[in-house]
Amino acid sequence: MNESAPGTGSSAPGYRLLRMAVRLLVALTVSLPLCLLLWPHLPLLKAPTLWGMGLDRLLLLLTVLAVLLLLLKRFPVASYGVIILSLGVVTVRSFKGHHDLRDLFTNYGTAFAALSQTTEGLPDVDELRPFKGAEELRKAMDYTDPEVRTFAVQAATTWFKQEAEEGDRTLVQSFSVFKVINSAWTYVSDPADAEYFASAKESSGLLAGDCDDHAVLMAACIKAIGGKVRLVRTTGHIYPEMCVGNAKGMQHAAYLIRNVLFPEEARYADLYYHTDANGECWINLDYTRHYPGGPVMNEKIIGILGV
């Protein structure tokens, strides 16, 4: 009778260790793209971070990894079969031009980067309170003016044309408006002895002015193409916010900003938003950043003007 020498064969510690390492590598390789698909559909949580990583994303990754490891251990033939079949589909699609290896490596890089991304909820703002100059600002947002509408349509179709056709058209086109205005905006102060509110029509030709002029133009243009916006008044600042829907809508907007539309500017950035009493999320569109959802000034909010 043949017997394996001690320390050899399928029961040897070295073989078991190698088998565990292979399972871990395979599970990790599959977990990352799977989580990349799942993260945009997670409920939006104000989760803390650990070593710069969002805990909600990290916990999901560990859960998926644990489940895959269990499946690979209990049902190795079926599990490896599904993985091989999936790789075959990816390979066939790559030959047909739908997906290539560069896209695959990009997705893995995105998955790793997404671990460190957080979406920060700001204090809830439940009331629309009048404030000084609100009616002048509302009048300045002349979004039905033909010149403002023309500028808004041109700005909406300058960037992200393909993405607008494939997804939420109004949201993506509003982000195009943001990019056009914020990439060209120049700050110019009001007269020293007076508060001056430029109309959206005036600012569309100048792309310059102070914070309220920027907020008026941004709000008017997004309103002109079907978006939902408002102005937030703090003790020393005014900035526009755009509604992106409920928590799931915010998660979708965050994915688009970081991974599709503004990857160079916001790949690793925290994104900031307010949630109103109806559960709708409003993302910051201030001129201080070249991506939507940038940090807001740490000032007390004294009023909100709905458009």
Backbone angles phi and psi of 119, in degrees to 5: -120, 110
User: What is the pLDDT at residue 169?
Assistant: 95
Sequence-separated (6 or more) residues with CB below 8 Å from residue 132: none
Judge contact between 208 and 187, C-beta under 8 A: yes
Q: What is the mean pLDDT of each run of 10 residues along the chain (307 residues)?
A: 51 77 83 71 58 70 88 82 72 55 54 51 57 91 96 98 90 98 96 92 96 97 97 92 89 88 86 84 92 86 86
Each residue of 259-269: b (16+ CB within 10 Å) or e?
bebbeebbbeb
Could you tell me which residues are beta bridge partners of residue 304? 232
Domain 134-306 annotated CATH 3.30.70: no
User: What is the pLDDT at residue 9?
Assistant: 53
- What's the pTM value of the predicted model, to 2 decimals? 0.66
User: What is the pLDDT at residue 274?
Assistant: 86
Domain locations in the chain as residue ranges: 13-116, 134-306
